Amino acid sequence: MVKELERAGIPTVHVCTIVPISKTVGANRIVPAVAIPHPLGNPSLGPKEEYALRKKLVEKALKALETDIEGQTVFE
């Protein structure tokens, strides 16, 4: 899906846990996430810390959308 959105010219960042799969399907901007059942959260944290973690990941995704890249890039 990421690839088709980019093919249409829409810059797309893939936030996902299994980075090798994202790379093999051809995502260009990749942000590694927390875990498979909760990519943008962590139930073992308190609500405030968990929200802060999510916001940070989303900001990282935005940073990826703002960055011109040559090829597949993982934004650690």
Partner 1 sequence: MLRVVHYLNQFFGQIGGEDKASIPPMVKEGPVGPGMAFKGSFGDKAEIVATVICGDSYFNENIEKATQEILQMIERYKPDVFIAGPAFNAGRYGTACGTICKAVQDKFGIPAVTGMYPENPGVDLYKKHVYIIKTTDSAAGMKNAVSKMASLALKLGFKEPIGAPEEEGYIPRGIRKNIFVEERASKRAVEMLIKKLKGEPFTTECPMPDFDRVPPAKAVNVKEALIALVTSGGIVPKGNPDHIESSSASKYGKYSIEGIDNLTSETHETAHGGYDPVYANEDPDRVLPVDALRELEREGKIGKLYNYYYATVGNGTSVANAKRFAQNIAKELLEAKVQAVILTST
Contact by Cβ (8 Å): 61, 15 = yes
CB 49 → partner 1: shortest distance, Å?
13
Query: Applying CB under 8 A, which residues contact partner 1?
Result: 1-18, 20-22, 24-26, 28-29, 33, 35-41, 43, 51, 54-55, 57-59, 61-62, 65-73
In three-state secondary structure terms, 56 is helix
d(CA 13, CA 74): 10
CB 50 → partner 1: shortest distance, Å?
8
CB 76 → partner 1: shortest distance, Å?
15
d(CA 62, CA 12): 10
Q: Which is nearer to partner 1, 5 or 49 (CB)?
A: 5
